[in-house]
Structure 1
Amino acid sequence: MDLLVTWLVTAFALLIVAWLPTGVEIDGFGKALVAALVFGLLNALVKPVLQVLALPLNILTLGLFSFVVNAAVFALAATLVSGFSLRNGFWSALLGSIALSLVSRLLGLILPS
Structure 2
Amino acid sequence: MKILIRVLINAVALWVATALVDGITVTSDTAAKRAGTLLAVAVIFGIVNAFIKPFIKVLGCAFYVLTLGLFALFVNAALLMLTSWAAGKLNLPFHVDWFWPAFWGAIIIGVVSWLLSLFVADDD
Q: Residues of 2 paired with 1:52 and 1:112: CA distance?
A: 29
**Residue 108 (structure 1) shift:** 2.3
SS in 2 for 1:81: helix
Output the TM-score relative to the length of structure 2: 0.82
Q: Residue 106 of structure 2 corresponds to which residue in structure 1?
A: 97
Quote the Cα distance in structure 1 between the aligned partners of 2:40 and 2:66: 35
Query: How far apart in 2 are the matches of 1:67 and 1:112?
Result: 25
Structure-2 separation of matches of 1:15 and 1:103: 10
- Unaligned 5+ runs, structure 2: 28-33
Instruction: Give the deviation of 1:31 after TM superposition.
Output: 1.1
Distance 2:35 2:43 in 1: 12
Is 1:75 matched up with 2:78? no
Pairwise mapping of residues 1-113 of structure 1 onto structure 2 (< 5 A)? 1-27=1-27, 28-82=34-88, 83-87=93-97, 89-109=98-118, 111-113=119-121
Worse-matched range after superposition: 19-28 or 90-99: 19-28
Moved over 6 A (4+): none
Tell me which moved more, 6-15 or 20-29: 20-29
Give the total of aligned pairs: 111
TM-score by length of 1: 0.89
Gaps of 5+ in 1: none
Q: Is the 8 A contact 2:25 2:96 kept in 1?
A: yes
**CA separation in 2, counterparts of 1:107 and 1:23?**
24
Q: Secondary structure at the match of 1:62?
A: coil
